[in-house]
């Protein structure tokens, strides 16, 4: 048991890197984004989701994945988006239990045939898509439009940092941009959402009361700019400082100390 769990009488460490169940906050922005992305998936379309690092993109993708019935959906996820076209195709083919062919075109034909023959709706999620080479983005366009008279063999979610929007607006990606069904952008938490975010994490860890003074929460929000990952890292540091000082509530001084430690070289 860590010093934080022992001092605050928690049954597990708060603010884990991968939150689950009751610790997950779904603010209005994520709920709205999930609904819009699901709309694109139902139409076998393309959804583009962008967010600054730490703003909940992984939370959104995780919620989407959990909400899709595995009996009727096959979800293929990859974050290996720095691969060139051949490497990306080979990776996707391997994830489906197939053997990559010697030439890219053959692998692409096998992939499309396999997906069209699936009894499930196929959802391809490509994370960190802002890092994809131009040629890989162009190949994705070709894969989603392999036939003039048929729908796409899969629904596609491209998720990444705001740079992805800029890249898709470039002239060489105009044809792919035209095919995008929905575009969503996740924003940082508001101050009221940040307060709920902290409370949900603490309650999920076993806290029976709020462990942060209101002024401390305000300071956390201001310095994290509402970015969940920064918010939870600073909150965790402030809890550690408070426990080390044998105090019962996190005050603004503890947050300031956490900020100094976070900024130390």
User: What does the alpha-carbon distance between residue 160 and residue 186 come to, in Å, rounded to a whole number?
Assistant: 11
User: What does the alpha-carbon distance between residue 133 and residue 46 come to, in Å, rounded to a whole number?
Assistant: 18
Tens-digit pLDDT profile for residues 59-82 = 888 888 888 999 999 999 988 778
Q: Give how far Cα 23 sits from Cα of 12, 27, 46, 142, 232, Å.
A: 12, 12, 30, 40, 12
Query: Mean pLDDT throughout 167-174?
Result: 94
Tens-digit pLDDT profile for residues 90-107 = 888 888 888 888 887 888
Write out the two tokens for 73.
């959906």
Query: Mean pLDDT throughout 250-264?
Result: 90
48 φ, ψ (degrees, to nearest 5): -115, 125
Whether the CB-CB separation of 41 and 240 falls below 8 Å is answered with: no
Tens-digit pLDDT profile for residues 212-240 = 999 999 999 999 999 999 999 999 999 99
Structural domains of the chain, ranges and CATH numbers in brackets: 28-186 (3.40.50.300), 189-263 (1.10.8.60)
Whether the CB-CB separation of 78 and 91 falls below 8 Å is answered with: yes
User: What does the alpha-carbon distance between residue 116 and residue 79 come to, in Å, rounded to a whole number?
Assistant: 23
Tens-digit pLDDT profile for residues 196-208 = 999 989 998 999 9
Write out the two tokens for 51.
């967010």
Q: Is 211 exposed, middle or buried (0-12, 13-18, 19+ CB in 10 A)?
A: buried
Give the β-pairing of 46-51 and 155-160. Answer: parallel
Q: Per-residue DSSP letters for 59-85?
A: HHHHHHHHHS-TTTEEEEEE--TTS-H
Q: Give the Cβ contact number of residue 232 at 10 Å.
A: 22
User: What does the alpha-carbon distance between residue 20 and residue 25 come to, in Å, rounded to a whole number?
Assistant: 10
Q: Give the Cβ contact number of residue 230 at 10 Å.
A: 18
Which residue bears the tokens 């959104």?
A: 60
State the pTM of this model. Answer: 0.84
Q: Is 257 exposed, middle or buried (0-12, 13-18, 19+ CB in 10 A)?
A: middle
Write out the two tokens for 158.
């491209």
Q: How many helices (H) and strands (E) would you count in the chain?
A: 12, 5
Question: What is the structure's pLDDT at 37?
Answer: 94
Which residue bears the tokens 């597990």?
A: 12
Q: Give how far Cα 133 sits from Cα of 88, 92, 93, 155, Å.
A: 10, 16, 19, 20
């Amino acid at each position: 048991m860590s010093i934080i769990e022992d001092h605050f009488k928690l049954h597990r460490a708060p603010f884990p890197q991968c939150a689950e169940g009751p610790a997950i906050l779904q603010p209005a922005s994520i709920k709205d984004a999930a609904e819009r992305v699901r709309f694109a998936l139902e139409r076998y379309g393309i959804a583009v989701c962008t967010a600054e690092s730490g703003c909940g993109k992984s939370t959104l993708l995780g919620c989407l994945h959990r909400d899709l019935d595995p009996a009727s959906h096959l979800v293929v996820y990859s974050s290996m988006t720095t691969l060139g076209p051949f490497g990306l195709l080979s990776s996707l083919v391997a994830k489906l239990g197939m053997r990559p062919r010697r030439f890219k075109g053959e692998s692409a034909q096998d992939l499309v045939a396999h997906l069209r023959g699936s009894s499930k709706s196929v959802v391809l999620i490509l994370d960190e898509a802002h890092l994809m080479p131009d040629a890989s983005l162009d190949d994705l366009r070709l894969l989603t439009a392999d036939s003039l008279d048929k729908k796409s063999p899969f629904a596609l979610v491209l998720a990444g940092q705001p740079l992805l929007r800029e890249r898709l607006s470039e002239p060489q990606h105009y044809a792919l941009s035209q095919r995008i069904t929905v575009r969503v952008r996740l924003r940082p938490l508001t101050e009221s959402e940040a307060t709920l975010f902290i409370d949900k994490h603490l309650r999920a860890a076993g806290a029976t009361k709020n462990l942060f003074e209101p002024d401390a929460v305000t300071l956390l929000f201001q310095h994290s700019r509402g970015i969940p990952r920064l918010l939870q890292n600073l909150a965790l540091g402030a809890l550690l400082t408070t426990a080390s000082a044998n105090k019962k509530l996190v005050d603004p001084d503890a947050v300031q100390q956490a900020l100094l430690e976070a900024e130390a070289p």
